[in-house]
């Protein structure tokens, strides 16, 4: 079917924005996204029109919220004041990025893995976990694997040894603790949707190895808490270079996390600027 999207929407920028690790770009310009047991193939057909591999019902019920299509990003970019020229420049370059509403469990494990790892290495570990513990789905283009639930990992006899085969390194104990807490009900990720931002972060940091930065990433990229603005090494470099060490994201309130994405994307594209 053809989906109409007239707001900021750039598949390549979304895939490269550092918030998801299973997006794939094909040589013909088509992109693949996966959430839970849903697989989407999407490509630009014309201005404001995208060819998508799902039904209109699935597009409305799954992917519209996944891509945050009820929010106008063009309007948000226009709210950046002239007194913040760096962010205006970063937002212009990053126009097309959208916050993704990803599966809570997958996002938690992915960002536990992300600590002190490059994006290609994170992707490799995540795919290895999916291949080892997930369920295969055959599509017209490839065989992909779902991201396994905590319960599926337990039933597959997850262990330190097979997780280490997935190159998760020292994070193995963090992952095992998360599996245990979620599978046995000590932590209900769905119930956390009702929490305030502070309570959500507090609950997430109860998982071994989850600090405030990882918890904020999960809040932003899975629970759509747009006031959360994780500060990683690249964001800190921008703060130090352009803002005198004072975090400007605090001034953007409920939009701080979206502005953070523009800054992160800019920093990734201009790494030499921060050497």
Percent of residues, the chain, with pLDDT higher than 90? 99
Q: Where residue 92 falls among pLDDT bands split at 50, 70, 90?
A: very high
The pair of three-digit structure tokens given for residue 132, joined into one six-digit string? 């080892």
Q: Are 201 and 231 in contact (CB under 8 A)?
A: no
pLDDT score of 275 more than 90 = no
pTM for the full model?
0.96
Q: What is the pLDDT of residue 265?
A: 96
Q: What is the pLDDT of residue 216?
A: 97
Q: What is the pLDDT of residue 274?
A: 85
Model confidence pLDDT, tens digit, residues 238-265: 999 999 999 999 999 999 999 999 999 9
Model confidence pLDDT, tens digit, residues 167-196: 999 999 999 999 999 999 999 999 999 999
Model confidence pLDDT, tens digit, residues 194-235: 999 999 999 999 999 999 999 999 999 999 999 999 999 999
Task: Name the residue among 156, 153, 209, 159 with its Cα closest to residue 182.
Answer: 153
Question: What CATH number matches the domain at 2-70, 3.30.310.260, 3.40.1190.20, 1.10.510.10, 3.40.30.10?
Answer: 3.30.310.260
CATH topology of domain 104-221: Endonuclease III; domain 1 (1.10.340)
Q: For 70-75, which contacts have Cβ atoms below 8 Å and span 24 or more sequence positions?
A: 71/98, 71/99, 72/7, 73/7, 73/8, 73/97, 73/98, 73/258, 74/7, 74/8
Instruction: Give me the residue spans of the domains in the chain.
Output: 2-70, 104-221, 233-274
Q: What is the pLDDT of residue 171?
A: 98
Mean pLDDT of 9-31: 96
Mean pLDDT taken over the chain: 97
Q: What is the pLDDT of residue 113?
A: 98
Q: What is the pLDDT of residue 108?
A: 98
Percent of residues, the chain, with pLDDT higher than 70? 100
Mean pLDDT of 128-139: 97
């Amino acid at each position: 079917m053809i989906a109409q999207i007239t707001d900021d929407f750039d598949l390549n920028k979304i895939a490269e924005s550092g918030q998801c690790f299973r997006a794939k770009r094909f040589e013909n310009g088509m992109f693949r996204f996966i959430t839970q047991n849903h697989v989407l193939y999407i490509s630009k057909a014309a201005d404001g029109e995208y060819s998508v591999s799902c039904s209109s019902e699935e597009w409305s019920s799954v992917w519209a919220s996944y891509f945050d299509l009820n929010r106008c990003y063009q309007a948000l970019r226009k709210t950046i004041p002239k007194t913040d020229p760096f962010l205006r420049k970063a937002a212009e370059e990053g126009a097309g990025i959208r916050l993704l509403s990803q599966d809570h469990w997958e996002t938690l494990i992915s960002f536990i893995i992300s600590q002190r790892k490059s994006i290609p290495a994170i992707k490799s570990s995540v795919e290895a976990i999916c291949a080892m513990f997930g369920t295969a789905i055959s599509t017209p283009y490839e065989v992909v694997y779902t991201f396994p639930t905590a319960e599926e990992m337990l039933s597959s006899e997850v262990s330190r040894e097979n997780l280490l085969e997935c190159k998760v390194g020292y994070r193995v104990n963090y992952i095992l603790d998360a599996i245990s807490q979620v599978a046995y009900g000590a932590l209900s990720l769905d119930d956390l949707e009702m929490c305030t931002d502070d309570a959500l972060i507090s609950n997430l940091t109860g998982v071994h190895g989850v600090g405030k930065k990882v918890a904020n990433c999960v809040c932003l990229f899975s629970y759509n808490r747009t006031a959360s603005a994780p500060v990683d090494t690249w964001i800190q470099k921008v703060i130090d270079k352009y803002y005198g060490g004072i975090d400007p994201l605090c001034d953007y309130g409920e939009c701080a996390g979206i502005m953070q994405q523009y800054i992160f994307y800019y920093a990734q594209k201009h790494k030499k600027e921060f050497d």
